[in-house]
A and B are shown apart, each in its own frame.
Chain A
């Protein structure tokens, strides 16, 4: 059987591992064969409902087994899926549906009101499919997901090739309007192959996914586990870290992808002892750099677990990973280009710089997006001609430096660098120092206008419960570890810092708030 499009991962795994548990979610266990059959049926119903080759279908659901079935169903229908965060409100959902002229929305009972509102505002949407509609049932004109699963129809005939779009992932930028990152089956396969290679995934893995599937990090756990024939344990939220740890023990989870805000919550737990979760073969981190202090504490708590520090952006899924043996000597690095790709640092004219320099990170590889959906202006900023004709490379907009051996260090968004006293300050560098101070749970560093300095450094922090740190303590600590122009002039202590949907600290929002109070 040829593995060409992403739905072929499921067909191949169903053939090889049919009766093996593919998915554990919400108390339900589904084998590869069941996942395959259910997605065949839902695909046929989608096609019957008017979804055609190349159409876009929004999947607007919590992390649930129905969402996993839907992903493969949409692909089998020859269409592209766009996973939307389940906390999205009607106007943004309508924006996304309208932006990509979605043909259909697959959702769940809890969200049917929001979906109906958005679909009403979007004339392209000709089909709404609802799972767990509740006692009121499916609204007139909508289709029941459960009924689709019961319909004994064959999988629709294959219509697409691997150059077709597999998915659109909407990502927010500085303009406020999200942009749809276009990924073909080829792009996705390249990224999934590279990642499963360096992580060393095998069918024996049991992977826990708690990040939302609307975030490529969470989404790819689904795709990669099916690709490799591993079992996926799908959870909805990290609101209860202890419950997730209990699940890790119960299902003998081997792989735990997390983000820094999750690590911070884990490290805050009072009763966590080293070695309690010996089945964990690996932990991965991305979305933001893990402060070296937190990496060290994680390794203490999970002594038999390999930690992978990684960096990526939605526009190419993932850029770099640090080979774990390098954590001892360079814990602050995010490593090297993922297998089969290139990552290099360029100057302001786009010329590659030698090792040891600082510049913008550029990515070259088969995982680079095709562009932003119907947004040539934004696409032209991100994708520029590569060395071969018609080839495009990705300008990340991130500032990096390399050390003498070529390992990469993330310094910050090009636009995040703060100029103070004529010096460039990387907020991340200051944040790392803040995180090394016991009692600091979350930190964000922004620039605020200052009559003398131009911009002054402000640290906004959230303390660990019952910590009694004062602003003076924080400044004193920074002064011990940073050049004087990097030491925050202002410190604000809050209960918590605002987060984006993906759990990242919303630095832009903090920056905006800081500007307002300064005025």
Chain B
């Protein structure tokens, strides 16, 4: 695993991005790691585009169309797992 992008670092960055871009409502409790962004009504198609652009830029990863699915991107947990996986494969 790249020292520059430890899992903890990935998790922090991802949480930060989601908090800054998708969690507009003040009455919202903090997002749980396993909570579905779609089910929580936090994300729509433009949100996904932004999330993909963020992941590609922040972690220097190329995302194929087939990677852009809920299994990889619908919660903090799955996003971190996906990014870790891609970074390990690249290392």
Contacts and interface: CB of A to CB of B under 8 A. Distances in A.
A and B part of one assembly: yes
Interface of A: 86-87, 110, 236-243, 246, 261-262, 265, 269-272, 465, 495-496, 499
Interface in B27-52: 38-41, 43-50, 52
Contact of B38 (A236, A246, A270): A236
B1 interface: no
B67 to A, nearest CB: 8
A238 B69 contact: no
B46 A496 contact: yes
A501 to B, nearest CB: 10
Given A86-B41, A236-B38, A239-B38, A246 B69 contact: yes
Contact of A271 (B43, B65, B70): B65
Given A110-B39, A243-B70, A495-B50, A237 B45 contact: yes
B83 interface: no
B69 A110 contact: no
B29 to A, nearest CB: 11
A496 B49 CA distance: 10
Contacts of B53: 465
B73 interface: yes
Interface of B is mostly: helix
Interface residues on B, range: 20 to 34
A240 B68 contact: yes
B2 interface: no
Contacts of A265: 45, 49
Nearest to A246: B69
Residue from B45, B64, B69 whose CB has the most chain A CB atoms within 10 Å: B45
B4 interface: no
Interface of B: 38-41, 43-50, 52-53, 64-66, 68-70, 73-74
Contacts of B52: 465
Nearest to B67: A242
Given A110-B40, A239-B38, A239-B44, A465 B65 contact: no
B62 to A, nearest CB: 9
Contacts of B66: 242, 271
B65 A240 contact: no
Contact of B69 (A237, A240, A261, A496): A240
Contacts of B43: 239
Please provide the 8 A-B residue pairs with the shortest distance between their CB atoms, ordered closest to farther. Answer: A271-B65, A496-B46, A239-B45, A269-B65, A243-B69, A239-B48, A242-B68, A242-B65
Given A271-B66, A272-B65, A241 B45 contact: yes
Nearest to A496: B46
Contacts of B74: 240
A66 to B, nearest CB: 14
B64 A240 contact: no
22 contacts: A110-B39, A110-B40, A110-B41, A236-B38, A237-B45, A238-B45, A239-B43, A239-B44, A239-B45, A239-B47, A240-B70, A240-B74, A241-B45, A241-B68, A242-B66, A265-B49, A269-B65, A270-B64, A271-B66, A465-B53, A495-B50, A496-B49
Given A86-B41, A239-B38, A465 B49 contact: yes
Nearest to A237: B38
B69 to A, nearest CB: 5
Given A87-B41, A240-B70, 6 more contacts: A237-B45, A239-B38, A239-B44, A239-B45, A495-B50, A496-B46
A87 B47 CA distance: 15
A240 B44 CA distance: 8
Contacts of B64: 270-271
A162 B18 CA distance: 49
